[in-house]
Structure 1
Amino acid sequence: MIGKIILVLLIGLLALGYQALVPPPPKICGSPGGPPITGTRVRLRDGRYLAYKESGVPKETASYKIIFVHGFSSNRHDASLATSGLVETLGIYLVTFDRPGYGESDPDPKRTVESTALDIEDLADKLELGSKFYVIGFSMGGQTVWGCLKYIPHRLAGAALIAPVVNYWWPSFPSNLSVEAYNQQFMQDQWALRVAHYAPWLVHWWNSQKWFPSSSVIAGRLKLSKQDIEIASQTHEKRKAWKEHAVQQGEPESLYRDLIIGFGKWEFDPMNLKNPFVDNEGSVHLWQGDEDGLVPVLLQHYIAKKLPWIQYHEVPNAGHLFPHVDSARDAILKTLLIGDK
């Protein structure tokens, strides 16, 4: 009898452990009980749907066509670049999209840095943007731009990385430098990133348990600069709505998979990339605020040194949210599209 009781208890503990480790299935948009489909979507090469939003001038008359990649816990409605006064002046067409698992885009359980870059190429072809287009990625979306530079460089007219999130485990980083930058993060974030890198199967449990602090970024307790605090107070309601929409299919296929991919072992090292514009037919830019508390500026310095073909722009007294400043948006677009013209 005692043996049977112990066996039942063990089975119960294993079942509880399995439930804690394995995330629930995503609530697919348009499925029974899932969120409604409210935006425009395209069907990709593997049957998944990608939701997108168009801004700016009509693509048929546009001089420049840009695909913008949103950051962590955001979505296709983050089209702040489209509010720049240069959109009409230069004739800019801008398309934003929900990355897989975010907003109204179907999750991709096999998502990688490469697959998201191919999603962008697929989206461009479905929208008939032509043989070449520009890509801009903000924060975690910057990692997707690295993927575009690796996997679809032949499709790019130019690229901009805005405060791009770095992976502390990229092989080219000197260990002392990556450790110094890593230690600048909150202790709870250091642990959250360790789990994502070394034990991705624990990410769901780690970020859903209540015993000790998990990711401060997921919790919305960010390390903000003075400028960030001002911007966040002005955009609080909008950003809150963005996050609610971003994770409506569930955090495992949006936020948690972002952590696993962004801080896992990459298929390539960005610092080994070659210049895709050897004939100066395009350019690549990296923009970084010097008071960014989320993305260490010293690692961006190293990247700029290793890849001199990337034009590095450091914004003084700026935090992570500086692209929401009008002058910054104008500078990013003007520099990428027309340079010194």
Structure 2
Amino acid sequence: MAGVNRKISASSARAHTRKAKQNSSFSFSSGMLRKVSVVLLMGLLAWAYQSIQPPPPKICGSPNGLPVTSPRIKLRDGRHLAYKEHGVPKEKAKYMIVYVHGFASCRHETLLLSPEVVEELGIYLVSFDRAGYGESDPNLKRTLRSTASDIEDLADQLELGPKFYVIGNSMGGQVVWTCLKYIPDRLAGAALIAPVINYWWPGFPANLSREGYNRQPVADQWAVRVAHYAPWLTYWWNTQKWFPSSSVIAHNPELFSPQDRELFRQLMGRRHYEAQVRQQGDFVSLHLDMIIGFGKWEFDPMDLENPFPNNEGSVHLWHGYQDWVVPVTLQSYIAQKLPWIHYHELPGVGHLVPVADGFSDAIVKALLLGEQ
């Protein structure tokens, strides 16, 4: 009996040893699996972080950077701003105008004024590259206020006087709202041409802004939604290949009305400078434009007060009825909320108002002379 007990005991010991080895092996495998999972997760997070980080900009004038071919001023924060002068010489000018270009554009694009109007009225006009565009230094701390401050610095360094006119087109028209907010005392008058709308401005009725938002192509609905709610993802969203990104950035002609497409041939001249527009990087030009333009604003344009209560100047808003890029319904609502704005709704005209025949002249005559 004792022998049987010894055999059972030895068998039990062997079974216990095998189980211990199995448990040890299982414990070792589980530990390794956890470690591998952690390493993979860390690698995935590192890859995700890198993929949403924009590359450093190619700053003009920096060592081994892009060349500077235009005159520039040095701003109060040390950045450089490139500009281009048009019209009559400053010393002979009667009217000083600062022109603000739109999205995916630069200082070379401005109003198509006739030489007769320029000479007759004595117009000096300066256009400039907004931060990150063309040859102007990027501003990674860009805010709603910063471009208005850049305009003020430009006017002071070019000695345009205590007051000047400002005209902005499309995204540049949106910048004019910030000038009316932050530097109204420097303005002799202002014109907004088809200014871009932020669908999250609180002054809009929810149903109206939703209707305008839904008129965009689905790709653009997502692009502006990302810029508004997750600005840190804007670079990744517009460079990834899994989902359609902004059709505006992609220059999709279907975004424009038939009236605009008929005018495209007049834009062929931009080919000689098109490479300059985004040369410092898409993030510091296009993507920051989207983040600022469609982000959370610290003021609502519909709450602005008349900067010219004594009619010492005027503000004009021009918008094409056939504009497929910016909904005319939202623009007309703003005009109703701000009755001090001279609103010009243009039948048969799309988003490219300055390119349409005669409208550049009409815009400056209305602004400078009060002609309707």
TM-score, reference length from structure 2: 0.89
Identity of matched residues, %? 66
Counting only pairs closer than 5 Å after superposition, residues 311-322 of structure 1 correspond to structure 2 as 311-322=342-353
**Partner deviation per Cα, 1:270-319 (whole Å, 9 max, x = no partner):** 00001011111100000000000100000011000000000000111001
Q: Does 1:49 align with 2:76?
A: no
2:140 corresponds to which residue? 109
> Deviation per CA, 1:162-204, whole angstroms, max 9, x where unpaired?
0000100001000000001111110110010100000101101
1:19 aligned residue: 50
What SS is found at the alignment partner of 1:7? helix
From 349, 352, 357, give the equivalent of 1:326: 357
Give the superposition deviation at 1:2.
4.2
Q: Distance in 1 between the 2:33 and 2:220 partners?
A: 44
Q: Tell me which residue corresponds to 2:264.
A: 232
Distance 1:178 1:205 in 2: 26
Letter in 2 for 1:157: A
Q: Deviations over 1:16-67 (max 9, x none)?
A: 1111111111111111332111100000001000000000000111000000
The answer for the alignment partner of 2:192 in structure 1 is: 161
Do the aligned residues in 1 keep the contact of 2:60 with 2:66 (CA within 8 Å)?
A: yes
- Give the aligned partner of residue 291 of structure 1: 322
User: Which residue of 196, 217, 226 corresponds with 1:195?
Assistant: 226
Kept in 1: contact 2:132–2:139 (CA 8 A): yes
Q: Is the 8 A contact 2:192 2:316 kept in 1?
A: yes
Q: Is the 8 A contact 1:284 1:309 kept in 2?
A: yes
Deviation at 1:5, TM superposition (A): 3.5
Q: In structure 1, what residue type is equivalent to 2:187?
A: L
> What is the letter of the counterpart of residue 136 of structure 2?
S
SS at structure 2 position matched to 1:285: strand
State the shift of 1:240 in Å. Answer: 4.4
Larger deviation, residues 321-330 vs 167-176: 321-330
**1:1-341 superposed matches below 5 A:** 1-83=32-114, 85-222=116-253, 223-236=255-268, 238-340=269-371
Quick one: distance in 2 between partners of 1:240 and 1:170? 35
Check whether the contact 1:287–1:314 (CA below 8 A) recurs between aligned residues.
yes
Structure ranking higher on relative contact order (CA contacts 8 Å, 6+ apart): 1
Q: Using the alignment, how far apart are the partners of 2:264 and 2:143 within structure 1?
A: 30
Deviations 1:247-268 (A, max 9, x none): 1000001000000000001111
Distance across 1 between alignment mates of 2:114 and 2:83:
17
Question: What TM-score, normalized by structure 1, do the two folds share?
Answer: 0.97
Is the 1:67–1:94 contact (alpha carbons within 8 Å) kept by the matching residues of 2?
yes
Alignment check: 8 A CA contact 1:292 1:320 kept: yes
CA contact 1:51–1:105 (8 Å) conserved in 2: yes
Distance in 2 between the 1:303 and 1:242 partners? 35
Q: 5+ unaligned residues in a row in structure 2: which ranges?
A: 1-31
Cα deviation code 1:195-250 (max 9, x no counterpart): 000010110110000011100000000411122111113323x3345442111000
Matched letter for residue 230 of structure 1: E
Change (3 A) 1:205 1:333: same
- Distance, in Å, in 1 between the alignment partners of 2:354 and 2:319 is 10
Answer 1 or 2: which has greater helix percent. Answer: 2
Partner-residue secondary structure (3-state), 1:267 = coil
What are the ranges of 5 or more consecutive residues in structure 1 without an aligned counterpart? none
Supply the distance in 2 between the matched residues of 1:153 and 1:84 (Cα, whole angstroms).
30
Contact kept in structure 1, 2:266 and 2:355, CA below 8 Å: no
What is the alpha-carbon distance in structure 1 between the residues aligned to residue 170 and residue 361 of structure 2?
18
